[in-house]
A and B are shown apart, each in its own frame.
Chain A
Amino acid sequence: MGVVCVYPYPVPEEKSGQQVVDTIQKQLELLGAHKSGNFFVDCESYQSNLQTATQQRLLHLFHNSEQPATCFSVLDNGMCLVSDLLFEVLILKLAEKKSGKDSYYQQRKGFKVESKGQRYELGDFIIKVGSVIVASNFRGILIEVEYSPCVIPSECWNLMKEFIQSFMGNIAENPPAHIKSKMDTVYTPEDTIQQYLEHFNNFRKATSASVPATPNR
């Protein structure tokens, strides 16, 4: 496991997402990267169903194709649980309504976010170009770059910055917000998921911000 940085790639107004993805992929192939399959990162959200009207707690369930045997559960206060895939079955059981009693958790429909796309390998780097889909609508592009040999962000940040800027331009001026506070600690797959969560939340907010705009017309 190396150090991973996730950045959103802005989609210009006149172009479609697919075109931008194709451009990036061509650029990567020019650099010399070769395709090594597909990848996906998806997130489902669950809401706690308490009778007493205290604050509703959210639970996000992530899967990452890079760690196929694992599922990550992130709470809204930032705590993350790394567990086997069977945990998902447990959550489903908690979300079932049984014998008149309400379930403990409720799945929030229409909140499923996914980032899917191609996976490229170039030497020690692994680059993933993903199109983000929120409830079957295309919302944006997320690019994930992983540098496998190093596990401490501060030691390889300069190298990664240079590499990312070579094909993405000046998006990677600063390290991702989540990593900034942990530059000198060992990087874990949980941190990747926290970065994705942040971006997915941004995409979701963008969705809900744009939806009230349309009825006003």
Chain B
Amino acid sequence: MASASVNVSVEAVQEHKIQEVTLDGQEIYIPPLSMSENLAKLAHKIDFYKDESEDKGKPTSEGEKEVEEEASKAAVQPSLWPWDNIRNKLKAALTEMSVLLDVLNITKEKRYMLLDHVSQDAPEAKSAIQLMAKKKGLQSAAGVLLAGAERLKKSQQEMGTRPQNEFHIELLKLRQNWRLKKVGKTILGDLSYKSAGSRFWQGGSFEVTKNTNIANGEGDNMASTRSSLEVVIPTELEGSAFVQVEVKTVEGSMNLTSAILRMPHGLGPYPSDAHWQTKLEAAQNVLFCKELFSQLAREAVQLKSFVPYIVVGNQIISNVFPNVQLSIVLCHSTGKKDKKSQHPGKVEHNHVLEHSLHQLLREVHFKSLNMSVPHPVTATIGVTKRRRMAGPEAISRRELLEMTESETLLEQIIKQTRHAVLRLRTMKVIDAVAAKFPDPQICAHWSCLNSSLESNVRVIITSQGYEAMRPTWQSLYLEIGVNDIKVVTRERRRIILSFEEKEIEDLLLWQISQHHIAICQSLARLLSWQYISHSSATGVGEMEDFATASSVLLVSPNSDKVIAVRSGPTTGLHVHMKSDAKDIDADLASILEAKWYNLTGTFKEIDLNRIDGRNFATKLELIMASVTRKR
């Protein structure tokens, strides 16, 4: 037999039980219980069938018996919902099943949990030996702890003197923010969004290296200190990128061929000695923008719609309305070559839509990972809560079909763009009309409860000083949607407007003309003038370009003056007055009553510009008041 080499093992002091001492003096120890064996031993001690008043091990069969008992009980207690008990038990059973499924899944992987035989309890040894063993064990444990404390104290002292940018400290900081793993001798990291739910084909793995050319002797100036850790980013993710979204008006509807390859500007390339955190964040942003743009481009090519999308290079162009174009550009500057800016003109980048795009992609990521509760932790696919409740709620076929429809990213962003354009246009038009016509005040109350696809506004037209007369208010309610605007007028008439700006302007002008007539009516009531006639669609006189003119006839309390007002959206406001005829025969004058005098006479127009008054209502009141005579 060859001479056995002496085994020298350096290990912690063992206080394990000696199972056997062989003839050549070797001691064989009982191997200590590993973590899984320990767990198994403890689990073996739990008795699942004891200490539960309801049998949790068999919920379903119990549930059935409960059904019949509860059914008979329900007749006695009609107020108690009969399925409550069952539901609770089934819920508990579902929880237990989920836990069991998780345990089985984890055990299958054999990395964190193992199925193993249950070990038997070791036989009790004598108490004296146990005491000795425990004493020795405690002494060695104390020794280990004290040695550890010494080491920690020493390392703490060293930390103060060590320079801050040492490689391992930097590595620790890096590990706190990014996921790293060691492959062979190199340290690789992952900056992609895969763990957040992304399914992009391009991976983002970077390498962490030591920086060997640290400038010595410059440790005082923190700004110029180089970190001892460098990251190497893959070349396609270098530089910085952003997705530029622009909404612009172009003359000529199908001008999609004017797509020019954009050069990035406004983005500075990052200096090569920037801090690793900045570099990594920039690379991650580049990856995100690339994923976003590739998803949009794929949808633009595959989507079938009435309006064709054009994908040219790094640009996607589509017409949201005739004359309005949406362009999405991926701007990526690598910072290597010196590029001359070819577009000195300013580009109106829409930050809101860019943010929406980012949010939409993040939502896609989120949905691919998270499903609605309850579900086992290790489940990878699931159904939405609505689909799960479709059974118990007896959802019809039509509603189920509606649930399966989903929208692509491009469709969603185009809808948001449309709504943004409509909203801005409506705002502009209302403000322009309000500025142009100071006479009746136009007030727009925009609701603060709105979404990216719907907003609403209430426009109120009043005359200053006469707001107490509620009937004179013309209040319009506009609901701005994605493709059109719905209007509800004061008389509860529903009108649907398209995206043309002129339609909103026409509507407001028409409402202003209606307001004037409403003023006349209210003032007449106040000043006890009588109403002779009112027509909201006058068929005589000048024709309007759109809508109709309204007219009203008022007569004074003494029946000697008649005022006629005609107001139309394009023809404007005209006030005519008729006085009694002064040229009646003296013979007739004595036998005629006063009221017959106002059958004849001519109307004369009043020039409103020469009457004092801030607005039409004041002027009309002045006219009516000055003309009324006491009886």
Which residues on A are within 8 Å of B, measured CB to CB? 1, 48, 57, 65-72, 75, 77, 79, 81-87, 90, 93-94, 104-105, 188-190
Q: Please pick, from A70, A72, A79, A190, the residue contacting B395 in the complex, using a CB distance under 8 A.
A: A70
Assess whether A83 is in contact with B392, with CB atoms less than 8 Å apart: yes
Select from chain B the residue with minimum beta-carbon distance to A81: B83
Known: A70-B390, A70-B392, A90-B60. 13 other contacts (CB 8 A): A1-B396, A69-B391, A69-B395, A70-B391, A70-B393, A72-B394, A75-B67, A75-B71, A79-B71, A83-B392, A84-B391, A105-B64, A189-B394
Contacts of A87 in B (CB 8 A): 391
Residues of A within 8 A of B392 (CB): 70, 82-84
Contact residue among A57, A79, A85 (Cβ-Cβ distance under 8 Å from B82):
A79
B396 neighbours in A (Cβ, 8 Å): 1, 66-67
A124 → chain B, closest Cβ, in Å?
Answer: 13
Query: Which residue, of B71, B74, B400, has the highest number of chain A Cβ atoms within 10 A?
Result: B71
Complex A-B: 28 CB contacts under 8 Å: A1-B394, A48-B64, A57-B68, A67-B394, A67-B395, A67-B397, A68-B397, A68-B400, A69-B390, A69-B391, A70-B390, A70-B392, A70-B393, A70-B394, A75-B67, A79-B71, A79-B74, A82-B391, A82-B392, A82-B393, A83-B392, A84-B390, A85-B391, A90-B60, A94-B61, A104-B61, A104-B64, A105-B64
Docked CA distance A85–B400 (Å): 14
Tell me which residues across on chain A come within 8 A of B395, comparing CB atoms: 67, 69-70
Contacts of B60 on A, CB cut-off 8 Å? Answer: 90, 93-94
B490 at the A interface (CB under 8 A):
no
Output the nearest chain B residue to A37 by Cβ-Cβ distance.
B397
Q: Is B151 an interface residue (CB 8 A)?
A: no
B502 within 8 A of A: no
B397 near A66 with CB under 8 A, answer: yes
Closest to A188 in B: B394
Query: With A and B bound together, what is the CA distance between A68 and B67 in angstroms?
Result: 25
Task: Tell me how far the C-beta of B50 lies from the nearest C-beta in chain A, rounded to whole angstroms.
Answer: 23
Listed residue (A84, A86, A93) with the most chain B CB atoms within 10 angstroms of its CB: A84
A65 touches B397 (CB 8 A): yes
Is B388 in contact with chain A by the CB < 8 A criterion?
Answer: yes
Nearest A residue to B397, CB-CB: A68
Residues of B close to A70: CB separation below 8 A = 390-395
Beta-carbon nearest neighbor of B64 in chain A: A104
**Chain B hits for A66, CB < 8 A:** 396-397
A87 vs chain B, min Cβ distance (A): 8
Which B residues are CB-close (under 8 A) to A77?
71, 75
Q: Annotate B25-66 by CB proximity to A: 1 below 8 A, 0 otherwise.
A: 000000000000000000000000000000000001100100
How long is the Cα–Cα vector from A72 to B396 in the complex, in angstroms?
14
With A and B bound together, what is the CA distance between A1 and B394 in angstroms?
A: 9
The CA of A85 and the CA of B392, in the complex, are separated in Å by 9
Minimum CB–CB distance for A82 against chain B, Å: 5
Pick the most buried of A57, A67, A83: most chain B CB atoms within 10 A of its CB: A67
Which residues of A sit under 8 angstroms from B83, Cβ to Cβ? Answer: 81
Bound-state CA distance A142–B87 (Å) is 35
Rounded to whole angstroms, the CA-CA distance of A48 and B68 in the bound complex is 10
Contacts of A85 in B (CB 8 A): 391
Expressed in whole angstroms, the Cα–Cα distance for A38 and B68 within the complex equals: 36
Task: Assess whether A83 is in contact with B64, with CB atoms less than 8 Å apart.
Answer: no
Chain A positions within 8 Å of B391 at CB level: 69-71, 82-87
